[in-house]
Amino acid sequence: MIPGAVPGSYSHWPDALRGPGQRVACLGPAGTWSHQACLQWGADAGLRPGPELLPMDADTALQALAQRCVDAVCLPVSTRVVGATPYLSPVLALLQQSHANDAPDALQVVGECRLQLGYSLMARPGVALAQLQAVCAHPVALQEAAPWLRQHLPGLPQRRCASAGAAAQAVAAARDERLACLGPALAAALHGLHVLQSGIEQGPHNETRWWLLARAAPPAQVADAARPWLGRFGLAHSAGNLP
């Protein structure tokens, strides 16, 4: 069972990515929402065994996909709270570049996952809520959890991190400070933290959408979701793009 599993909906997981030996990059380090999205998506699709998940930073993931070092990349592209994520623009730029020469194996949006995020506030064992000196999180997480933070931890300093996994690593490594981080409960299990509060801002209002990029034919339902964004970059519907 995946720690802290949250409600979600998923498109079809492409058959080409089902077998062992396939490598899927996701936003890392381990313990991010992207990591959890892949785990839940795979469990829902019955992937046993599934592809190898490789948590890494977004730039490295997209470069690895472009250079065929991984078979697919899963990144968050939009949220209901903040709109487009910082990753949408580089994802679309890579799609545009891939389609520039009409290559038959151009990159595609081959899958979509939506999760209703419910943040966990995590700290090192023995650290209590009243002892916290700062909270670490991705900037998007800080925005999405802002109502809860204003109510329960007003004035607590906030530190921006590259991802939930990076925030969990920072908290786990902090020996002289009493820090907490925001992210999925999966991060607590992976980084030796304990959960101070769970289900923060969980609900339909806090939904995030991920795209799975690969060189394969995408399902029709993803085409409808992706086409408005692709149109902004001149990636029109064609036989080599979305169906």
SS (H, E, C) 32-73: CHHHHHHHHHHHHCCCCCCCEEEEECHHHHHHHHHCCCCCEE
Whether residue 133 lies inside any domain: the answer is yes
Whether residue 177 is found in the same domain as residue 189: yes
Whether residue 26 lies inside any domain: the answer is yes
Whether residue 76 is found in the same domain as residue 153: no
pTM equals 0.82
Provide the CATH number for the domain around residue 100. 3.40.190.10
Whether residue 61 is found in the same domain as residue 17: yes
Whether residue 240 lies inside any domain: the answer is no
Whether residue 129 is found in the same domain as residue 165: yes
Whether residue 174 is found in the same domain as residue 227: no
pLDDT exceeds 70 at position 125: yes
The per-residue pLDDT for range 51-69, each reduced to its tens digit, is 888 999 999 999 999 999 9
**Beta strands per DSSP E along 69-184:** 72-79, 83-84, 108-116, 119-123, 134-137, 158-160, 179-183
Whether residue 188 lies inside any domain: the answer is yes
Q: Hey, is 199 helix, strand or coil?
A: strand
Label residue 227 exposed, middle or buried (CB < 10 Å: 0-12, 13-18, 19+). middle
How much is the average pLDDT of 190-214? 92
Whether residue 3 lies inside any domain: the answer is no
Per-residue pLDDT band for 217 (boundaries 50, 70, 90) equals low
- 170 vs 231, higher pLDDT: 170
pLDDT exceeds 80 at position 2: no
- 101 vs 243, higher pLDDT: 101
Whether residue 36 is found in the same domain as residue 85: yes
Tell the residue number behind the tokens 């903040």, with chain if given. 82
Whether residue 85 is found in the same domain as residue 155: no
pLDDT exceeds 70 at position 241: no
What is the extent of the structural domain holding 17? 8-116+205-232
pLDDT exceeds 70 at position 112: yes
Tell the residue number behind the tokens 């995030």, with chain if given. 208
Per-residue pLDDT band for 102 (boundaries 50, 70, 90) equals confident
Nearest alpha-carbon partner for 38 in 29, 223, 27, 82: 27
Whether residue 161 is found in the same domain as residue 130: yes
Whether residue 224 is found in the same domain as residue 107: yes
- 201 vs 15, higher pLDDT: 201
Whether residue 112 is found in the same domain as residue 217: yes
The per-residue pLDDT for range 10-51, each reduced to its tens digit, is 777 787 887 778 899 999 999 999 999 998 887 776 666 678
- 193 vs 219, higher pLDDT: 193
Whether residue 239 lies inside any domain: the answer is no
What is the count of structural domains for the chain?
2
pLDDT exceeds 50 at position 221: no
Whether residue 124 is found in the same domain as residue 22: no
pLDDT exceeds 50 at position 167: yes
Whether residue 106 is found in the same domain as residue 123: no
The pLDDT value given to residue 43: 76
